[in-house]
Amino acid sequence: PAEAASALGKLAASMEPGTWAKLETVGLDELLDAPGSYTVRSLLEYADGGAWDPIEEKFYFIGGGHDAIKRFIVYSVETNAWTELPRPNWIPGNTMHGYDHTAINVEARELYHSPFGDSGSRYVYRYDIPTGTWSRIDSQPYQLDGYVACCTGIEYFPEMGGLILSDGSGGEIAFYDESTGDWSDLARGLAMGDYHNFAEYNPVHGVMIAGGGNGSPDVFR
């Protein structure tokens, strides 16, 4: 297969099961430096992950250093290189870390991002991968209880047809239904950290795990 000829494919083929190896890529070091108001910061500050697109074999990441430049970048397996994509106009001028704020709907070719912001403007934005355009999901999880923490986790759940949001401020697991365009609560009052929460989908078992945050060991399925 074509991917076997890529730098990633060759590295994977050379490895033994259960081992790690470093993939040398092009362009990442330059993009990680985020000039700020008082120093150069890393784009990876307070970032848990990005989103992998298995169809085009690309990895998307959005983040920024503290009071520093924010970037929307992508890695391509075909070129083994990182490039910067046009920065959307909704990215704020102040701090915006990556956290666990990026998700992907592979089938629909859509990327999602929930930018850091105050609780009164916690919109989620949708990126159409084929056209390279952003749009805003007009309903907000903020409307459920009047507050959403700065540093939540979001993930797409294919079996449910929407987004899961893990919000430690109310011990809340919320769901965005793409078919209706509305948010609803799946659970509230769960034990988890106040913020720095995560949400991750397991395609093998078809389950979502979410919770954690600020040293909390509480994780829910």
% of the chain surpassing 70 pLDDT: 96
Share the mean pLDDT of the chain: 92
Angle at CA of residue 65, ends 62 and 67, nearest 5°: 120
pLDDT band at 7 (very low <50, low <70, confident <90, very high): very high
Residues 156-172: pLDDT tens digits? 999 999 999 999 999 99
Residues 123-136: pLDDT tens digits? 899 999 999 999 99
Kindly tell me if the per-residue pLDDT of 220 is higher than 90. yes
Q: Which has more confidence, 121 or 102?
A: 102
CA dihedral over 57, 125, 144, 151, signed as positive or negative: positive
Residues 104-123: pLDDT tens digits? 999 999 999 998 865 456 78
Residue 52 CA, distance from chain mean position = 10
Structure tokens, 183? 């948010």
Structure tokens, 211? 């919770």
pLDDT, position 117: 65
pLDDT, position 53: 97
pTM above 0.85, yes or no: yes
88 within 8 A of 105, measured Cβ to Cβ: no
d(CA 163, CA 138): 14
pLDDT band at 55 (very low <50, low <70, confident <90, very high): very high
C-alpha distances out from residue 103 to 109, 160, 185, Å = 11, 14, 19
Kindly tell me if the per-residue pLDDT of 180 is higher than 60. yes
Kindly tell me if the per-residue pLDDT of 1 is higher than 70. no
d(CA 29, CA 90): 25
Torsion of CA 104, 114, 102, 174, to 10 degrees: -70
pLDDT, position 143: 85
Q: What is the DSSP letter of 189?
A: S
pLDDT, position 107: 96
Residues 56-88: pLDDT tens digits? 999 999 999 888 889 999 999 999 999 999 999
Give one DSSP letter per residue of 87-152, joined into a string. PPTTS-SS----BB-EEEETTTTEEEE-----GGG--EEEEETTTTEEEEESS-THHHHS---SS-
